[in-house]
Amino acid sequence: MSFDLVFFGGTGDLTWRKLMPALFQAFRHGKLPAGGRILAVARDERSDDAYRAFIKERFSEVESSKRPTDDEFDRFAELLHYRRMDLSHPEDYTGLKQWIDERGADTAVLYLATSPHLFPVICEQLGAAGLNAPHIRVVLEKPLGHDLKSAQEINRVVRSVFREEQAFRIDHYLGKPSVQNLMALRFGNALFEPLWRRESIANIQITLAESLGVGTRGDFYDRTGALRDMVQNHALQLLTMIAMEPPSTSDADAIRDEKLKVLKSLKPFTPESVARDVIRGQYRAGNVGGQAVPGYQQEVKVPEGSHCETFVALRTEVQNWRWAGVPFYLRTGKRLAARDSQIVVNFRQVPHPIFPGSQRANKLVIKLQPEDGLELHLLAAKGSGTSDSLAPVSLDLDFDKAFAAERVGAYERLLLDAIAGRLNLFVRSDEQEQAWRWVEPVLDAWSRESSGGGEGPRGYAAGSWGPAAASALVARDGFAWSEEQ
């Protein structure tokens, strides 16, 4: 299948740091379809060879196992092309259309790796130039909007140019092999489905923790914050995959219909429940990995007195028959004690204990990063003959070891899916808007608090697990975060 893949923002960080290395890995693994061209567009004036040299230099910053040899890069570079474009000039889009039409590839994928505020401008110009034929797809990188209103405006413009099945809203978390295994775990095995409900499960915890700070992205991050950056998209997508009903088929819309039902079933926030069930924090100076690190307000380009949250923990419920009364705890933050993303399914205690001693409930840990696998925590008899008490044991499955030769990275998988037209791991517009609709009361409450001279986020020491109030949030229901159990 011949294809043209066009990157708007072809010299930007996302393109050279994430997208080009992912494409090279697909090329190295022999998974990139033959007959492809990769075109980078940006405002700079440069030749194809100059752009290839630029990308080759940037590959030196990729981890060593993923760097191409000179021979590999020379072969990969034959696919790379560059075109100067001013995104506000209609004639430049006409020239791009001629470049795409001259070969007549089976598929053209237009990847908008630009600031989201440019999405409406680019899409309108693409429509005016006729770059919206059925074989053309557009990929929209997050964040898709800053709030519900801006997201709806982006989607309005996209829908005025492209059909829904041509729009690929990307959330790179959905491309992670471990996240794909959520579907396999739920719907490819009969073992857990009878237990996947309120009668057996006490609570579910989703943690997306980073040990890094905001680095040099202080100006961007301060306009975004942890709720927009991680909860509205990544964490909610994971929640939907955990809580959704079995879809009738593996068709993209069948899956996305069920995810939308979960989003619509989430308990809505009120000003009172935001104050009670949502904790926001901001990291202060501390110690991470034996190194002293500054607080958020001492980071580059962060404005003095900022109320931007770098940590969020919240409690919610899915209000349907399967999950009624089961608390879902979501937590994300920067400068936490470890880089650790996982989903913990805590099962209920046995109804009538017959063994002596304290007994832990079973739990299933779905590890997303840095490891990728499953842990099932059980209780077993020691077999020592001196006591009937039970001891905790775990079954540990490492997917990286089990499938070492077949694993692909998130962006590699999503780029290949976009080329092939597979929508399963992309977000539909109604999903995205419903997620914004659910978090908007939280944003509104925080905005009112800040404008009214409120205290703002709670401080927490870098290298900790966030504000103490996050632990109290879970303890209120008689539970604890996984590292505190």
* Active site (catalytic) residues: 234
CB 82, CB 53: distance < 8 Å: no
* Residue 407 three-state SS: coil
Length of the chain: 485
Residue 180 near residue 213 (C-beta atoms within 8 A): no
- Computed over its alpha carbons, how large is the radius of gyration of the chain? 24
In terms of Cα–Cα distance, which of 123, 24, 107 is closest to 68? 24
Residue 204 φ/ψ, nearest 5 degrees: -130, 135
Q: Hey, what are 458's tokens?
A: 């709670």
Residue 441 and residue 271 in contact, taking contact as beta carbons nearer than 8 Å: yes
Identify the bridge partners of residue 164 per DSSP, sorted by sequence position: none
Query: Tokens for 171?
Result: 């959330």
Burial class (CB in 10 A: 0-12, 13-18, 19+), 431: buried
Determine the 3-state secondary structure of 436 from DSSP.
Answer: helix
The pair of structure tokens assigned to 270 is: 């009120």
Q: Which tokens go with 44?
A: 């700079």
Strand partners, 313: 279, 331
For residue 112, list its beta bridge partners. Answer: 8, 140
Question: Which residues, 6 or more positions from 49, have their beta carbon under 8 angstroms from its beta carbon?
Answer: none
Rounded to whole angstroms, how far apart are CA atoms 379 and 26? 43
Q: Which phi and psi angles does 274 have, rounded to 5°?
A: -65, -45
Q: Which two tokens stand for residue 92?
A: 């430049």
Q: Coil, helix or strand for 302?
A: coil
Q: Computed from CA positions of residues 291, 292, 294, 296, in that sequence, does the dihedral angle turn out positive or negative?
A: positive
